[in-house]
A and B are shown apart, each in its own frame.
Chain A
Amino acid sequence: MTTYLIRRLIQMVVVTILSAMLGYSLLYLAPGGPLLFLQQMQNTGQRRVTEEDIARLKARYELDLYLPIRFTRWLIGFPAGPVQIGGMNLISPDTVVGCAIPGQVRLRYPDGTVEIIEEGCVRVVTLANLAERRTSRGILFGDFGLSQQIARDRPVSDLLMSRLPYTLQLMGVSTLLAILIGVPVGIYSAVHQYSRFDYAMTGITFVGSSLPTLFMGVMAILVFSVLAKEAGLPYLPSGGAQGIRNYDVPWIGTVQAGSALDRTLRFIMPCAVLTFFNIAGWSRFIRASMLEVLRQDYVRTARAKGVRERAVITKHALRNALIPFVTLLAGVLPTLVAGAAITESVFNWPGMGRLLVDALGRSDYTVAMAILFISTVLVLIGYLISDILYTIVDPRIRLT
């Protein structure tokens, strides 16, 4: 078990670094960003952009450093300045790590065309220069750098933390509700296979799991907000986590914007849509797993020796049927972060998924990468937890 865990942890670190590299190369390859903004300013003639402006902006977003240096600074915050051990310089502080202003060479071709290419370097960046800059501690240690567009120059982690409670609330409540409803429904369906209830439930869950949440979300708003309001019935407000103005709802009266009632009313629809979608998954899964177990010999043995049916189901069947359930539970972990981007966008819910969509829409790639990185790490942790839980709930499985 210990050797297994150690091996798994090493594997996890490797995969984390690999996915960080993947994320970073996407970030690096993606054009747009701050320099494009500067270019636009120059093109529209708003302001003359000098070489100094470009150099300053490049320095701010580290665009003047060589790629490997930028990557390690981004990943683990190294090097933050001259590399020293006990006051001694390990590497010369004059080592060149980047180029602030590239040299320009004017090429004149025989046919008269002129092309300007960048070659060499007019002003270099050295290790010593790095000491003056703000250095992130590295994303591996939870420092995701500064946001570029959404909240200019505020740390990405602040942004994430401000959105996290909303996502946790939405995903947490809907997952919990889905399990609380879906699991009993799945068990009942399996025990009474081919009953009317079973047919109805399999039908509903089939539709629930096949319809896109986007469609369900829009239809929910249409029915419970728009049409209900037009018909003069009590309706659910849609959009956002809390209102801006007070509003009247029939039968309930005036709802104060930002009050607990307002927030609850706004929470109901996104939560219900996600719950409905998840119930389908959970109940189908439990039903299948329960049916599998009910066919086993030990269940027949239990029945044969006269155990009451209730005990057969709860003690013998259910316990074994829940084993695969544990793995699924760990799969919930990464969806807690950006699993509901679509639902959150439909309902304008200010969570992490919505933040990802906003960040991508405004080319704020540092925010997007942070979300991608966090959810990848959560996937890995989820895998690990499910493996460990597996050995706990099922002693037949040994990890070696």
Chain B
Amino acid sequence: MATTTSAPAASGALDRLQTRSEGQWVVVFRRFRRHRLAMVSLAILILIFTASILAPWIAPFPRDEIGLNRTRLPPMSVDPVTGQLHILGTDHLGRDFFTRVIYAARVSLMVAISVTMLVAIIGTTLGLLAGFFGSWVDNTISRIMEFVATIPDLPILLILSAIMIQNADLIVLPSWIIGPIAWIMAAPNREATQVALLILVLASLGWVGVARLMRGMVLQVREMQYIESARALGGSNMWILLKHVFPNAFPPLIVAFTLGLNGALVSEVAISFLGFGVQDPTPTWGNMMGFATSYMFNHPWMPLIPGLPIFLCSLAFNFIGDGLRDALDPRLKL
């Protein structure tokens, strides 16, 4: 930028050099595009995501409309009374499966995304502080992390969500948490409370992994020469932390977040499947799966309908994580 271009011949060479320089994220995306499965996964995820956003407009039926004369219809069947088409059939109460699957996508994906965001914020902040400041800050945070990591995650997750959901009426969450969640779910506040509690439970246990990873990265970055030179320039702690340590320690965490999305999705599905998560009238892929499995012996297609989106999303998150890992690794030649 500040280089002088006195000779016209040199300026041409410089121009060419400048056009070649690209932002880091452009490079990463170019590398990511080579991972074909990751690109396919991205497309599938975007499709599911769009369908879930458009749910109130594209859903052919009201979400909870029960029809006892059309229960457990197979996919592509026509309602005997109204003559309407149920693309994915109906569930045990005659509710349209397609409608519920896309509404459930809202809940399941929102849980996955908001848990990952919360975990990312808490985890990176604590990891950054622990790694950068060391001494008692690191000691305190590390002890807490060790303690949380000792408690086996599946039992405590089940216990916490069971207690929270069974007492959902007693726990009062502020409306600035419930409001947006209810708006995203397109559902009343009562249903949003369960989802909010589930998000809190999942996030309260999930941050440890991210914090550990961040702390490790910061410990590595902190010893780099550019940090030393930033210090020599007289930079304040805050400036060095935000301007130099954070951007350099962050990229590897992106992969962890993608896999975290999968983890949160799968946990939500499992908890709702076992009946301790989001409760029935609110659809999630987990509780739909729970009901579908009890009818699978006579209606074998039923578990496939919530099962397929779980399968697709789960694989997609993993492939994207894999693609990002390759794209972000500077040592790997693609």
Contact = CB atoms under 8 A, between A and B. Distances in A.
Interface of A: 15, 18-19, 22, 26, 29-32, 206-207, 210-212, 214-215, 218-219, 221-222, 225-227, 230, 334-335, 337-339, 341-342, 345-346, 353, 356-357, 360-361, 363, 368-369, 371-372, 375-376, 378-380, 383
B270 A214 contact: yes
A15 B152 CA distance: 13
B152 A376 contact: yes
A31 B318 CA distance: 39
Contacts of B303: 218-219, 222
Interface stretch (B160-168, B204-212, B229-237): B160-168
A227 B314 contact: no
Contact of B154 (A18, A30, A339): A339
A97 B67 CA distance: 58
Given A26-B160, A31-B166, 4 more contacts: A15-B146, A29-B163, A219-B303, A225-B297
B273 interface: yes
Contacts of A383: 150
Contacts of B317: 210
A39 to B, nearest CB: 14
A338 B154 contact: yes
Nearest to B267: A212
A214 B271 CA distance: 10
Contacts of A227: 300
A15 B155 CA distance: 17
- Where chain A touches its partner, the secondary structure class is helix
A385 B36 CA distance: 43
- Where chain B touches its partner, the secondary structure class is helix
Contact of A226 (B266, B275, B297): B297
Contacts of A356: 155, 158-159
A30 B150 contact: no
A32 B166 contact: yes
Interchain residue pairs A-B with the least CB separation, the first 7: A210-B318, A360-B162, A375-B152, A212-B266, A30-B163, A372-B155, A226-B300
Contact of A371 (B155, B170, B296): B155
Nearest to A218: B303
B166 A338 contact: no
A353 B159 CA distance: 12
6 contacts: A15-B150, A26-B163, A211-B311, A230-B300, A335-B152, A376-B150
A193 B315 CA distance: 24
Interface string B292-334: 0100110010011001001100110110001000000000000
B289 interface: yes
Interface string B129-151: 00000000000000000110011
A19 B253 CA distance: 29
B52 interface: no
Contacts of B300: 222, 226-227, 230
B155 A379 contact: no
Given A31-B170, A356-B155, A345 B163 contact: no
A31 B168 CA distance: 11
A357 B276 CA distance: 9
B154 A341 contact: yes
B296 A215 contact: no
Contacts of B147: 15, 18-19
Contact of A375 (B146, B155, B266, B289): B155
A363 B164 CA distance: 12
B162 A361 contact: yes
Contacts of B304: 222
A210 B163 contact: no
A341 B150 contact: no
Contact of A207 (B155, B167, B170, B315): B315
B276 A212 contact: no
Contacts of B48: none
B151 A214 contact: no
B318 A22 contact: no
A25 B303 CA distance: 38
Contacts of A337: 152
A207 B151 CA distance: 28
B269 interface: yes
Interface in B154-213: 154-156, 158-160, 162-163, 166-167, 170
B311 A215 contact: yes
Given A218-B296, A368-B159, A211 B314 contact: yes
Contacts of B146: 15
Given A31-B170, A215-B307, A22 B151 contact: yes
Contacts of A210: 262, 314-315, 317-318
B58 interface: no
Nearest to B167: A31
B121 interface: no
B274 interface: yes
Nearest to A379: B150
A378 B152 CA distance: 9
Nearest to B301: A222
B150 A19 contact: yes
A100 to B, nearest CB: 26
Interface string B66-79: 00000000000000
Nearest to A334: B152
Contacts of A221: 293, 296
B150 A380 contact: yes
A372 to B, nearest CB: 5
Contacts of A218: 289, 293, 296, 303, 307
